[in-house]
Structure 1
Amino acid sequence: MIDALVKKLKGELVQTHASWVILTEDFAYKIKKPVNFGFLDYSTLEKRRENCLREVELNRRLCPWVYVGVLEVVKVNSEYFLEGEGEVVEYAVKMRRIPEERLMKNLLDKLTEEDLRRLAKHLFDFHQRAERKDEFGRLELMKFNTDENFMQTQKYVGITIEEQDYNFIKSATEEFYKKYAPLFEKRMKEGRIRDGHGDIRLEHVAFLEEGICIFDCIEFNERFRCGDVLNDMCFLSMELEFNGREDLAKVYEEEYKRLSQDPEFDLFLPFFKCYRAYVRGKVESFMLDDPNLSEEEKQKHKERASKLFKLSRKYAESLV
């Protein structure tokens, strides 16, 4: 089916662990794979339909110009079509194709301080109108997330993360919970827990003619998308610093802090950046177990994971 659609659309196929993406000159068509990773379940056609619809709905909040809608993939005899009469065999999210040169990851040497202030305001305004999700601000849930990270990375100790760094980050995280437990409750009551984006990285931000577009949010798992607004916004801070643009990260953070008037901003920011860097280090470590990758590719992921864990350690040091 996928090969037939690629040929029919005269497109290029890109794959992720969870989706097939067919790229044409003007559009991208994302079809979800029938997989179940526990935290992500696309195992049935109905679940794939629901997640396609949710993806469009959620992403239009921060990027209304890109998400066109959900198309049916139909089968007629032995042929496959996007839309039309026939047996519905899949669903595809249709998006405008974003030019590579408009992506933030490719603009790091061109962005101005004003661009970062605009981005901070765009995100702050979104957080202000996003639905409150107080239950995702509970300390117990945040601790579940960090405990999961430490459990899942034990096997990489001595490979991508040094044992002393693993122990230090884990200890600093536990101490933060003990010391500031009442503040998690306070932030919930103040409405700082929202249905956010969950994955604001450099490759998910584009500067378009219509405005700033933050796309590809996490639609498949509320636990990864909903939470403290600082946890949402700081993912980008961490990525900027990881890529050597501490200056841009500082402007972005200072503008968000000014707009939010958050009294715990400076306290929680390094805690959440520590968490985000660790998550990325974990994901890069997982790539070492992918049988489809060459040893050269695995080495690149290993080096990247090690650098991310070192950055997480750096953030953890400011917590103690």
Structure 2
Amino acid sequence: MDWLVRMRRLPADRMLDHLLRSGTVTQPEITRLARRLVRFYATATVESITPEAYRQSLAAWLGDNLRELASPEFGLDPHVGEALAHSQLGFLQDHADLFDARVRQGRIVEGHGDLRPEHVCLPARTSCYRLPGVQPRVPYPLRPTNWAIWRSNAPRRRRGQARHRRSGPG
């Protein structure tokens, strides 16, 4: 059986990437989005991953970011990306205990790790969308460069508690 899905086009002028570029996003819109993301991540399913595997996946992800930042299309000084990656990898190595504790505390969730501004629409009711074919590479709350959210102490559901599966932010 084939399925037919009727989709409506999101307003391009209300996508977060456009609002950021044009400088028209408002603080209440960002607050509303942050609250929605907090609700989603607070109920997301805890990942089953070892501390070592988690740190290895983050290190690989940082390498991917460095390669992406080195792309000529961005016009960035390659030394800036290298310094950033070096700093992040150093933090990961020097503070492995912090990352390991997050795994042991059940704070690592499958939360679509590459939520980007072009995935977020800010109409009257905030929505986040997963694009077709965009799959998370490693389980973590958000990109590690977003330290404020990544290091948040929001309560997480522990293994064994009731699950409420969602396909994306709520």
- TM-score interval w.r.t. the shorter chain? 0.5 to 0.7
* Pairwise CA distance, 1:201: 2.2
Is the CA contact (8 Å cut-off) linking 1:104 and 1:207 kept in structure 2?
yes
For 2:42, the equivalent position in structure 1 comes to 128
Is the CA contact (8 Å cut-off) linking 1:105 and 1:202 kept in structure 2?
yes
Residue 223 (structure 1) aligned with residue 157 (structure 2): no
* Pairwise CA distance, 1:190: 2.1
Q: What RMSD in Å do the two structures reach over aligned CA positions?
A: 3.6
Larger strand fraction of residues: 1
From the CA coordinates, give the structure whose radius of gyration is larger. Answer: 1
List gaps (5 residues or longer) in structure 2: 155-170
Mapped to 1, the partners of 2:145 and 2:78 lie a distance apart of: 29
**1:265-302 deviations in whole A, cap 9, x for unaligned?**
xxxxxxxxxxxxxxxxxxxxxxxxxxxxxxxxxxxxxx
**1:241-266 deviations in whole A, cap 9, x for unaligned?**
xxxxxxxxxxxx5xx69xx446xxxx
* Pairwise CA distance, 1:156: 5.3
User: Would the alpha carbon gap of residues 184 and 204 (structure 1) be closer, same or farther in structure 2, given more than 3 Å must change?
Assistant: same
Is the CA contact (8 Å cut-off) linking 1:103 and 1:207 kept in structure 2?
yes
Tell me which amino acid in the other structure corresponds to 2:47.
K
Aligned length in residues? 148
Tell me which amino acid in the other structure corresponds to 1:103.
M
Tell me which amino acid in the other structure corresponds to 2:11.
P
* Pairwise CA distance, 1:166: 4.4
For 2:31, the equivalent position in structure 1 comes to 117
**1:165-217 deviations in whole A, cap 9, x for unaligned?**
344234323321221011111111222211112332222111234x2100125
Residue 95 (structure 1) aligned with residue 11 (structure 2): no
For 1:107, the equivalent position in structure 2 comes to 19
Tell me which amino acid in the other structure corresponds to 1:186.
A
Is the CA contact (8 Å cut-off) linking 1:123 and 1:233 kept in structure 2?
no
Mapped to 1, the partners of 2:14 and 2:61 lie a distance apart of: 33
**Percent of aligned positions that are identical:** 24
When the two structures are superposed, what TM-score results if normalisation uses the length of structure 2? 0.66
For 2:103, the equivalent position in structure 1 comes to 188
**1:46-101 deviations in whole A, cap 9, x for unaligned?**
xxxxxxxxxxxxxxxxxxxxxxxxx93xxxxxxxxxx6xxxxxxxx6542221223
Paired residues for 1:1-320 under 5 Å: 72=2, 94-108=6-20, 109-135=23-49, 138-150=54-66, 152=67, 160-209=75-124, 211-217=125-131, 221-224=135-138, 226-227=139-140, 229-231=141-143, 234=146, 260-261=152-153
* Pairwise CA distance, 1:148: 4.0
List gaps (5 residues or longer) in structure 1: 1-70, 73-82, 84-91, 238-252, 263-320
Is the CA contact (8 Å cut-off) linking 1:198 and 1:218 kept in structure 2?
no
Mapped to 2, the partners of 1:149 and 1:206 lie a distance apart of: 24
Mapped to 2, the partners of 1:165 and 1:111 lie a distance apart of: 28
Tell me which amino acid in the other structure corresponds to 2:25.
L
Is the partner of 1:121 in helix, strand or coil?
helix
Q: Which has the higher contact order (CA 8 A, sep 6+)?
A: 2
For 1:52, the equivalent position in structure 2 comes to none
